[in-house]
Homo-oligomer: A and B are copies of this chain.
Amino acid sequence: MAEVKITKRSEDYSRWYTDVIAAAELADYAPVKGCMIIRPNGYAIWEKMQQALDGMFKETGHQNAYFPLFIPESFLRKEAEHVEGFAPEVAVVTHGGGSKLEEPLVIRPTSETIIWNSYRNWIQSYRDLPLLINQWCNVVRWEMRTRLFLRTAEFLWQEGHTAHATYEEAEEETLRMLGVYRRFAEEFMALPVIEGRKTEKEKFAGADHTYSIEAMMGDAKALQAGTSHHLAQNFAKAFDVTFQTEKGTREYVYATSWGLSTRMIGALIMAHGDDNGIIIPPKLATTQVVVVPISRKPEERQHVMRAVEKFTLAFKTVGIGFKVDDREQYSPGFKFNDWEKRGVPLRIEVGPKDLDKNQVVLARRDNREKTSASQDGLERTVVDMLNAIQKSLYERALEFREKHTYRVDDYGKFPEILDGEGGFIWSHWCGSGECEERVKDETKATIRNIPRESPAEEGKCIKCGSRSERRVIFARAY
Contact = CB atoms under 8 A, between A and B. Distances in A.
A121 interface: yes
Nearest to A75: B31
Interface of A: 1, 28, 30-32, 35-40, 42-44, 46-47, 63-72, 75, 87-98, 104-105, 107, 114, 117-118, 121, 127-128, 133, 137-138, 140, 142-144, 153-154, 156, 329
A75 B30 CA distance: 13
17 contacts: A30-B70, A31-B117, A35-B69, A37-B65, A37-B68, A40-B65, A40-B133, A43-B64, A44-B64, A69-B140, A69-B154, A91-B97, A91-B105, A93-B93, A93-B107, A94-B94, A96-B153
B137 A138 contact: yes
Contacts of A117: 31
B70 A32 contact: yes
A424 B89 CA distance: 51
Contacts of A89: 97
Nearest to A66: B38
A28 B93 contact: no
A438 to B, nearest CB: 28
Given A95-B94, A138-B69, A28 B64 contact: no
Contacts of A71: 32
Copies of this protein in the assembly total 2
A70 B114 contact: no
Nearest to A133: B40
A439 to B, nearest CB: 28
Contacts of A30: 67-68, 70, 114
A89 B39 CA distance: 28
A96 B105 contact: no
A47 B72 contact: no
Contact of A93 (B44, B91, B138): B91
B38 A65 contact: yes
A46 B114 CA distance: 21
B142 A70 contact: no
Given A92-B96, A142-B96, A28 B121 contact: yes
Enumerate the 10 nearest inter-chain pairs by beta-carbon distance, A residue then B residue, closest first.
Answer: A97-B142, A40-B63, A35-B68, A38-B66, A92-B95, A96-B142, A91-B96, A30-B68, A32-B70, A94-B94
Contacts of A28: 118, 121
A399 B447 CA distance: 68
B64 A40 contact: yes
Nearest to A63: B40
A94 B92 contact: yes
A39 to B, nearest CB: 6
Contacts of A69: 35, 107, 138, 140, 154
Given A28-B121, A32-B105, A142-B96, A43 B67 contact: no
B67 A37 contact: yes
Given A47-B64, A63-B44, A35 B70 contact: yes
Contacts of A121: 28
Contact of A95 (B36, B39, B91, B98): B91
A66 B92 contact: no
Nearest to A94: B94
